[in-house]
Chain A
Amino acid sequence: AQSVAQPEDQVNVAEGNPLTVKCTYSVSGNPYLFWYVQYPNRGLQFLLKYITGDNLVKGSYGFEAEFNKSQTSFHLKKPSALVSDSALYFCAVRDRRNDYKLSFGAGTTVTVRA
């Protein structure tokens, strides 16, 4: 079975400060890892993914994430947050041996205050 944990329901930061959204995962085999962002009443927008290769992945809107196999983590980071980054963020994992099926974390609401 595969699962994702996002330990923080909410993250609050001031604009211009670093933003980190935490994610840990559990899979039987090697993972594919993803971050998505959701704005109110909208579908999910893809931010970035880790498939293989460099552990540091750079994605859309200045976000990046680091795959840490020993800690089974894939934390999302942004060096300088913007008010427009306020949204709901989902981490997702797919076991390479479990065709197609994505498992999502519970989501983390990010609020960036001006």
Chain B
Amino acid sequence: GAVVSQHPSWVICKSGTSVKIECRSLDFQATTMFWYRQFPKQSLMLMATSNEGSKATYEQGVEKDKFLINHASLTLSTLTVTSAHPEDSSFYICSAEKTGSYEQYFGPGTRLTVT
């Protein structure tokens, strides 16, 4: 298989603090990972494309200084939500593409609640 994990699965933080979410490909290497945001009963919105060893590519309207992405290895990408606010509360999902498969494998998601 091709398994992607995320940690933590859920997190509650106070407004103004920062939260780091990890995304790992457990049994394959991924030069490219993706970060999505999903609001309740809505579709996935691509936030950014994370490339190993280089800067992430952010979608229009996504603040790169607020959502810091680091892809330090072929199996790990991290998303840090800096100075979180209640409106950042959401379900964050990462995915990784297995080379040659054309398909993205998704993590189980992280539920972020900012109080």
Contact = CB atoms under 8 A, between A and B. Distances in A.
Contacts of B34: 100, 102
Interface in A61-114: 88, 90, 94, 100-107, 109
Give the interface size class of chain A: 20 to 34
Q: From DSSP, what is the main secondary structure of chain B's interface residues?
A: strand
A101 B93 contact: no
Contacts of A34: 103
Contacts of A105: 43
A46 B103 contact: yes
Which of B6, B95, B102, B107 gathers the greatest number of chain A CB atoms within 10 Å? B102
A43 B4 CA distance: 10
A94 B91 CA distance: 23
B105 A107 contact: no
Given A104-B43, A106-B42, A49 B102 contact: yes
Interface of A: 32, 34, 36, 41-46, 49, 51, 88, 90, 94, 100-107, 109
